[in-house]
Amino acid sequence: MRKSFFSMMKDLTKRPYTKEIRNYPKTPIDKEWENPISYARIEEELSQSSDIVFRKFLIRGKEEITCILGVVDGLVDKNLLDAYVLRIVMVDATVDPAFKEMTLKNIINSLMDRFTPANEVKKITRMGEAIDAMLAGDAVLFVEQSQEALVISARGWQTRGVNTPQREASIRGPQEAFNETLRTNTSLIRRIIKHPSLRLISMKIGALSNTDVVIAYVENRVSPDVVAEVKRRLNRVKIDGVIAGDILEEFLEDHPYSPFPQILHTERPDIVASSLLEGRVAIIVDGTPSVLIVPVTLPMFMQVNDDYYERAMIVILVRSIRYWGAAIAVLAPSLYIAVTTFHQELLPVTLALSIAGSREATPFSALGEAMLMLIALEVLQEGGLRLPKPIGQTIGIVGALIIGDAAVKASLVSPIMVIVIGLTAVSGYTIPYYSLAIGIRLIRLPLMILAGTMGFFGLGIGLYLILIHLLGLRSFGTPFLSPIAPLRIRAFLQDTLVRAPWWALKEDPDLIDTKHPHSGGRQ
Amino acid sequence: MQRLSTHQFTMLTAGVLLGTTFMVSGSIVTQAAGRDGWMAVMPAFLMCVPFTWMIFSLVPKYPNQDLVKISEKVLGKWLGKALGLSFSLIMIYFGGLFASQGVDMYNRTVLPLIPHYVLILGVSLITFYLYLSGIEVLARFAEVIFPLVCMALLFIAIFIIPRFERGELFPILQNGITPVLSAALNISPWPFEYVLFLAGLLPFLPAKPKDLKIIKVNFFKALALIIVLSTIVVLVQIMTFGPFETARLTYGLLVLGNMVEISRTIAGIEAVFTLFWTGALTLKAAAFFFAGIWGLQSVFGFKGKKSAIIVGIIFVLIPLLGGKGVNVVVEMAYIDRYIILPFAVLWILLVWGVDLWKHRQKSL
Amino acid sequence: MEASPKKPLRKRLLIVCVLVISLLILEGCGKREVEELAFMMGVGIDKGKQEGSYLVTIQVAKPKPSGGGGSTELEDWTLSVEGPIIASTIEKVNEMFDKQFFAGTVRVIVIGEDLARTGINEVLDFYQRYYQYRRTMYLVVAKGSAKDLLETKTTTHNIPALGLLGIIEGNKRQSTFPVTRLGHYLTILGRESQNPVIPSAEVIRSGDKGIYLSDEKGNEVIMSCAGVFEDGRLVDFLGDQETKGYLWLDDEIKTRRLEGERDRLKIVASVHNSKTKYKVEMIDEQLGIKFYIKASMALDEILGQQGEMSTEEWRNFLQEVEPILAQAIQEECEAAVAKSKKLQLDFIGIGRKIEIKNPKYWTEIKDNWPQGLEDFPVAFEIEVDVDHAGLARNSPVSPQKSESKGEGNIHQ
């Protein structure tokens, strides 16, 4: 690809959902997708894969007809197939008079109507359908000389059961989490919202992975514009494989170069269900234990399902602690730097003197010290993240106790800096959603540099830039900071910094004001 | 075309009306009116009411047009264009000066050692980012910033109470009403800065006729809020410093922030307040910047952002090359008094009057 | 704005990046780490030896570096520099000291008596102008030189300036001396008819004023009384009684101990609460000012009262005591007014009080003000409320003796 630097930059700065559609080169079989079914062609193409099994057998009706059952090993329930397909057509049904009447012409209809006692059987005529069905885990019953086939649903593969949520622990909420199977996930949602207005629209994404994606929404609650826009953006996604649904996040979000997440993902069905009732859209992807929710606002990332199960009075405390925690996580190091290097008048005299005393022997500036500690903190976090649990604890002890304590004793950093960074780290964990917490870690460093070079003025510049950025963000047309700005007073009072008691919540929470989601809210 | 909501209009109005006037208001009004200076705030701000009323009365006749375009239609092409051009120039020049004054505030109090141009670049950076993000974001910015500024002012007012001197407000009206009126005249150009901004803001106001009524009411709400707030700020200064000292201090409010003591540990927190003052400052500077570019766009029919870049460079150069410190304060006062006030009054009266006369002619 | 949404981001990113980076590169000085600073705790200003020069004493707190754990102890470091202008003396110190001075922590300004007598308004200009100083600093006049006062290590405080601050802040509810902040001084200065008052402090040795220290060579600093200033010059010190009278009239009394005496009865009461109001009204057929003082107290000590009393007798006794205490207050107030009349300086602010209550009358007498004070009628109406007398009723006496002497004394 030879592109000039500028066109490359231009390409990079385009919003993903406005990009041109990329076309993938097609394999030979792809071109025959619309052709009538030809078993010979399919066998030729697919029998190279060891997991694909073709079972040939004869049906002795009026004529002797060769049939083939094609399945992917491991994706089908073998017992089911043996007992309800093969056994019936080869043993049990052979005595049936209707069976004896079968000819090449009526075999498909006859089999479908009488001899395949499975709950989902479908007649297909095209190559593509047959291959798709097989690879998706259905059994396909070919008739050698016919251009039709039967799809018999007998999916059955190893799944992880419905477990308790791993990442989003909850105290009072239901303890179910999504798993990797699409149908299980949709069923978990359906079990909560038992109303026909819950729509689950299916589509497939990924040129090679053919991943099932379901768009879920509640009709009449959701703005039709948003649903249309979700569909439009999903349709534009052209990639080889959707390995995990989280990949789609980058394709769908409005502002790809923002540190703030504009799509919420959760592994809890109750969160998805309540979002759907609020009029949001959920995107459920096969093979992914988390569900994407759009549109979202910043306050949503500070809410936890327990907020809604706990009593409203308690939520006032809990939420305010979370907001304070977020503020400390963003600001604590930069405030400390600004105060100790520029605005010492803010420090009480005794504190100033004790900081001065403890810093007397340390070699770095406050900014350098803070960056050092922060990098150490990030290393510890990242290092501890993927370690097996027993070793993870060791990392914690080594990192926090030994390094921290020794660094102070060796006069490498001042003890107060250790406190500040420790506080920052702990406060960061009060942010419920990891994606937001990471974004906040990202803006912390620039803020520190600004505070270390220009004091409160620099900090102010940084904070205002972030604020303006946040004010300009939209998620599927919804301003990211709503209901704070633009102020929606009812939504602001009833479910932002505090939560109104359930009986006081108005029916229409007015949380989403989507405006032209197509263009990100601009006209 | 982006539109503001009525609430956004209120907050934007309040934010631009207030600007950073609270910094200098105490000093200016007490110079003229002594201990009765706080009474000067209300008449001064009320002076802009008839002119905003005239502007609002033009809106239904010329929907989706700012005052520059309206005056082109009413007064003819060339006169309209000349007025529009001078409108833009005033806005941009004054906006630049305004940024410069805010920087002066920093240089005097909390960060005297940071070079002038660093502060100017910082403030301009936020202003441009606001401009690039659009008027909607400016309105939302006002929605967030104005309540914060209000809270900061009230915070100071409450925590300075232990420093109040007894009886500084009395006797009331010792020298009669004349000094109060002359003080009011001194600060009366301030609301007209906003009136000029409003002249450019017209096309972004909510379009429905029903909303126009709400907007008129909301304008009065915002005005009342600002009057109350400014009066409190002046009152607090007089009660803490006494009239003589209030007049002597350049930025009395910053000194007030310096004097706040909460228990024995927390003191000297004016550095924290400057965070909020920066917000108020950039809000108003950005408002002038927007208004200046709207004017140019209406006059020359510019589209896109090329003009904005050039204007932006000029906008930075004005405070960079212009004076510092008290020069800026004096120059702003001159422009306020001898350019903004007469220009706004004449322009609006002219457009409104001629328009009224034309409609009379037609109906006759 | 309404420009195409297709490529705003690139421009925005570019502009933001360029400006942020340029801001960082252009970062100016003004940065000082906290350990590079010398925190000034107090400033003392005296007259220099040369004519027109000042001797500035700077008191700096140095933290004792403590290796890990434990609280840092403070050490003081005091030096004095003589120079013609105050602000420039600091520069001289910088030539020999590795740290920058930080003035934001100065809480007390001590002014030497000599300097105070020649004028302090010019001296204070620096302190009200330079951004690090605050208007909440306390002003103190030293009896003697400010240098001596700041160099006096007391037994309670390592740093004399902090000791002074402790006395002012700790005892300001115990109203025995006025508290004057820089801002308050400037405000009073701005009133045309009032003279500012600044509390005074002095160094005492063991044995002075009836105070004996465990270390016989040791020194202590006490704050009492106040100096009256006219046009920035110290005119005279107020005595103890006059200071307290001034505090009564200025409604600055919060809590304090009040002594009253009549015949052999001596009582001490602690004032909980007091309120002073004033009115301009006719006194002896002339317009004058009348102070209404209301105070509620509790008896702390009674000397010379004998015998056991029943509850009713006790109530009567308390009512008898009230005028004694009122008399004590009145004496203090009268002393202050007498001093004011003698000095012909209106440090109580009577003129200002007239202006507030009766601006018309004030314009009549304004031109002849502090002089007119001399025969300006001042009256008092003092109301004392004795709430209780602590945990006990009568004083500890043996019942036999009280009976033998008894009766007579009670109703004296």
Rounded to an integer, what distance in angstroms lies between the CA atom of residue B285 and that of residue B319? Answer: 12
Question: Residue written as tokens 């039967």?
Answer: A150
Rounded to an integer, what distance in angstroms lies between the CA atom of residue C69 and that of residue C101? Answer: 27
**Collapsed DSSP state (helix, strand, coil) of residue A35:** coil
Length of chain A: 523
Task: Say which of B2, B129, B264 has its CB closest to residue A468.
Answer: B129
Task: Say which of C2, C33, C65 has its CB closest to residue A365.
Answer: C33
Asked if B256 and B161 count as a contact pair (C-beta separation under 8 A), the reply is no
Asked if the Cβ–Cβ distance from A464 to B269 is below 8 Å, we say no
User: Which residues are CB-contacts of C392 (< 8 A; sequence separation ≥ 6)?
Assistant: none
Asked if C178 and C238 count as a contact pair (C-beta separation under 8 A), the reply is no
- At A430-466, the pLDDT tens digits run 999 989 999 998 899 889 988 988 888 889 999 999 9
Q: How far is B31 from chain A (nearest CA, A)?
A: 31
Listing DSSP states for C283-302 in one string gives ETTEEEEEEEEEEEEEEEEE
Question: Residue written as tokens 């803001």?
Answer: B201
pLDDT at A505: 73
For chain A, what is the mean pLDDT?
84
Chains that touch A (3 or more CB pairs under 8 A): B, C
User: Which residues are CB-contacts of A216 (< 8 A; sequence separation ≥ 6)?
Assistant: A186, A189, A198, A199, A200, A201, A272, A276, A281, A282, A283, A284
User: Which residues are CB-contacts of A477 (< 8 A; sequence separation ≥ 6)?
Assistant: A225, A226, A229, A295, A514, A515, A516, A517, A518, A520, A521
Mutant choice from B6, B107, B137, B283 vs A, greatest count of A C-beta within 10 A: B137
pLDDT at C27: 52
Q: Alpha carbon A321 to chain centroid distance? A: 27
More confident residue, A513 or A108: A108
Q: Please check whether residue B176 touches C, CB under 8 A.
A: no
More confident residue, C14 or A266: A266
Residue type, A118: A
Closest among A290, A294, A256 to A275, alpha carbons compared: A294
Confidence tier at A514 by pLDDT (50, 70, 90): low
Closest among B229, B231, B233 to B157, alpha carbons compared: B233
pLDDT at A522: 44
Reading the block at residue B146, the tokens are 């104005």
Length of chain C: 412
For chain B, what is the mean pLDDT?
88
Tell me phi and psi for residue C17, to 5 degrees.
Answer: -60, -50
Rounded to an integer, what distance in angstroms lies between the CA atom of residue A434 and that of residue A420? Answer: 21
Task: Say which of B109, B128, B134 has its CB closest to residue C1.
Answer: B134
Per-residue pLDDT at A222 exceeds 90: no
Nearest CA in chain B to A488: B7
Note the helical H segments in C229-310: 240-249
More confident residue, A17 or A290: A290
Per-residue pLDDT at A8 exceeds 80: no
A residues 106-165 near C, CB within 8 Å?
Answer: none
> What are the counts of helices (DSSP H) followed by strands (DSSP E) for chain B?
16, 2
Asked if the Cβ–Cβ distance from B267 to A345 is below 8 Å, we say yes
Reading the block at residue B43, the tokens are 């008449």
Per-residue pLDDT at A29 exceeds 80: no
- At A271-316, the pLDDT tens digits run 999 999 888 999 999 989 999 998 899 998 998 888 888 888 998 8
Closest among B352, B288, B325 to B130, alpha carbons compared: B288
pLDDT at B219: 93
Q: Please check whether residue A459 touches B, CB under 8 A.
A: yes
C347 — alpha (psi -120 to 50), left (phi > 0) or beta? alpha
Reading the block at residue C314, the tokens are 């006790």
Torsion angle (degrees, nearest 10) of CA A211, A217, A223, A225: 20
For residues B331-343, give the mean pLDDT: 91
For residues A218-230, give the mean pLDDT: 87
Note the helical H segments in A57-215: 78-81, 87-90, 97-100, 107-110, 127-136, 182-192
Closest among C362, C360, C342, C363 to C350, alpha carbons compared: C362
Per CB-CB distance under 8 Å, the chain A contacts of C23 are: 450, 453-454, 458, 461
Mutant choice from B3, B170, B245, B278 vs C, greatest count of C C-beta within 10 A: B245
Per CB-CB distance under 8 Å, the chain A contacts of B133 are: 468, 471-472
- β-bridge pairing C37-47 and C100-102: parallel
For C85, which DSSP code? S
Q: Please check whether residue B117 touches C, CB under 8 A.
A: yes
For residues B12-16, give the mean pLDDT: 93
Q: How far is A315 from chain C (nearest CA, A)?
A: 38
Give the Cβ contact number of residue C40 at 10 Å. Answer: 21
Helices B116-133 and A434-472 meet at what angle, rounded to 10?
90
Per-residue pLDDT at B153 exceeds 90: yes
- At B55-110, the pLDDT tens digits run 999 888 888 888 988 999 888 889 999 999 999 999 999 999 888 888 888 888 77
Question: Residue written as tokens 């000066």?
Answer: B97
Per CB-CB distance under 8 Å, the chain B contacts of A457 are: 106, 110-111, 114, 119, 122, 274, 278
For residues B166-189, give the mean pLDDT: 86
For residues A348-357, give the mean pLDDT: 83
| A159, A517, B234 from A155: Cα distances, Å | 11, 38, 78
The C-alpha R_g of chain C, in whole angstroms, comes to 28
Tell me phi and psi for residue C136, to 5 degrees.
Answer: -95, 5
Note the helical H segments in A47-192: 78-81, 87-90, 97-100, 107-110, 127-136, 182-192
Is the pTM above the cut of 0.90? Answer: no
Per CB-CB distance under 8 Å, the chain A contacts of C133 are: none
Q: How far is A142 from chain C (nearest CA, A)?
A: 51
- At B247-272, the pLDDT tens digits run 888 888 888 888 888 876 677 788 88
Per-residue pLDDT at A396 exceeds 80: no
Look up the ipTM and state it: 0.94
Tell me phi and psi for residue C42, to 5 degrees.
Answer: -155, 155
> C230: which strand partners?
C233
A residues 178-217 near C, CB within 8 Å?
Answer: none
Asked if B22 and B150 count as a contact pair (C-beta separation under 8 A), the reply is no
> C299: which strand partners?
C269
**Per-residue confidence of chain C (412 residues) as pLDDT tens digits?**
333 334 455 666 676 677 666 656 655 456 788 888 888 888 999 988 888 888 999 888 877 665 544 455 667 788 888 888 888 887 777 787 778 888 888 889 999 999 999 888 888 888 888 888 888 899 999 988 888 888 887 777 778 888 888 888 877 667 788 889 999 999 988 887 888 999 999 888 887 778 888 877 778 888 888 899 988 889 899 988 899 899 898 888 888 888 888 888 888 998 888 899 998 888 888 888 999 999 999 888 888 876 777 888 888 888 888 889 999 999 999 999 999 888 888 888 888 888 888 888 888 888 888 788 888 888 999 999 888 888 877 777 766 655 544 444 444 4
For A237, which DSSP code? -
Question: Residue written as tokens 């409609």?
Answer: B359
Rounded to an integer, what distance in angstroms lies between the CA atom of residue A210 and that of residue A33? Answer: 14
